[in-house]
C-alpha cells in the first residue's frame, strides 16, 4: 500500500516509530463498507461527512451493530440526511431512551460542499450514496459518494474486467514459478 508523502511527513512529525500501514489504520479505521454501491454505481467523487448521532448509536456502531447496505442520502431544505441506515441498539441501552434503529440522521458537511452537492445532484443527474463508515481521529464519519447509476451492460463489463484481472494475476504467478 503506497501512501502519499504528506502522510509520511506526519509520521516523522509524530516522532514515534510507525509504518505506513499503522499510520493508515490509525487515521482511518473502517467500520463498515457498502460494496453494493460500487457494484451499482460509478463513483465520481467522495466526501467525508460527520454524523449527528445519539450516545446509544455511537456505542452500537463501535460494537459493530450497524448496516448501510440499504441506506441512501437525501437532500432536504439545503441539508443532507442519510435514510435507511440501520443501527441496532445494544441490550444494555438505557431504559429512559427509546431507540429508533432506522431514524433519519443528519450529515454534517461544510456549506460550500453542500452547495456543490446540491448543484451536481439537481443539474447533472448524479445521486448520493453512502460508501462506508469509519473512524477519523476517534470520531465516526461517513464517506458519501457522488455517483451515476450503472446500466446492466456496465455491470457485466465490470465483472468481465475483474475476471480478466484475476486471470492475468494467476497467469503471471504461474509464469514466475
* pLDDT tens track, the chain, 177 positions: 454 544 433 333 333 343 444 444 445 678 888 888 888 888 888 999 999 998 888 888 888 888 888 888 999 998 999 999 999 888 876 677 778 888 899 999 999 999 998 888 888 778 899 999 999 888 899 999 988 887 777 778 888 888 999 999 998 888 887
Tell me what pLDDT residue 129 has: 92
Q: Which domain holds residue 90?
A: 30-162
In a domain, 107, yes or no: yes
Query: Does 23 fall in a domain?
Result: no
- Judge whether 57 lies within some domain: yes
Is 38 a domain residue?
yes
Predicted confidence at residue 27, as pLDDT, reads 56
Structural domains in the chain (count):
1
DSSP state of 58: H
Q: How far apart (Å, rounded) are the C-alpha atoms in residues 120 and 118? A: 6
Within-domain flag for 39:
yes
Chain segment 96-144, per-residue pLDDT in tens: 777 888 889 999 999 999 999 888 888 877 889 999 999 988 889 999 9
Q: Indicate which CATH number applies to the domain containing 59.
A: 2.40.280.10
- H or E element, residue 76: strand 72-76
**48 neighbors 80 (Cβ within 8 angstroms):** no
Whether 10 is in a domain gets the answer no
Grid cell 443527474 — which residue?
A: 125
85 touches 68 (CB < 8 A):
yes
Asked if the structure places residue 79 within a domain, the reply is yes
Q: Is 45 within the bounds of a domain?
A: yes
Amino acid at each position: 500500500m503506497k501512501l502519499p508523502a504528506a502522510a509520511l511527513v506526519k509520521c516523522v512529525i509524530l516522532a514515534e516509530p510507525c509504518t505506513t500501514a499503522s499510520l493508515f489504520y490509525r487515521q482511518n479505521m473502517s467500520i463498515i463498507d457498502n460494496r453494493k454501491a460500487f457494484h451499482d454505481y460509478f463513483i465520481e467523487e467522495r466526501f467525508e461527512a460527520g454524523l449527528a448521532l445519539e450516545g446509544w448509536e455511537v456505542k452500537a456502531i463501535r460494537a459493530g451493530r450497524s448496516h448501510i447496505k440499504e441506506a441512501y442520502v437525501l437532500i432536504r431544505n439545503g441539508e443532507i440526511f442519510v435514510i435507511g441506515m440501520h443501527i441496532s441498539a445494544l441490550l444494555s441501552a438505557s431504559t429512559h431512551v427509546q431507540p429508533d434503529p432506522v431514524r433519519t440522521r443528519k450529515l454534517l458537511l461544510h456549506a460550500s460542499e453542500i452547495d456543490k452537492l446540491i448543484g451536481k445532484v439537481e443539474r447533472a443527474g448524479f445521486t448520493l450514496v453512502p460508501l462506508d463508515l469509519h473512524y477519523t481521529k476517534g470520531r465516526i464519519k461517513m464517506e458519501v459518494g457522488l455517483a451515476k447509476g450503472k446500466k446492466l451492460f456496465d455491470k457485466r463489463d465490470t465483472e468481465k474486467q475483474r475476471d480478466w484481472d484475476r486471470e492475468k494475476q494467476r497467469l503471471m504467478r504461474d509464469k514466475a514459478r
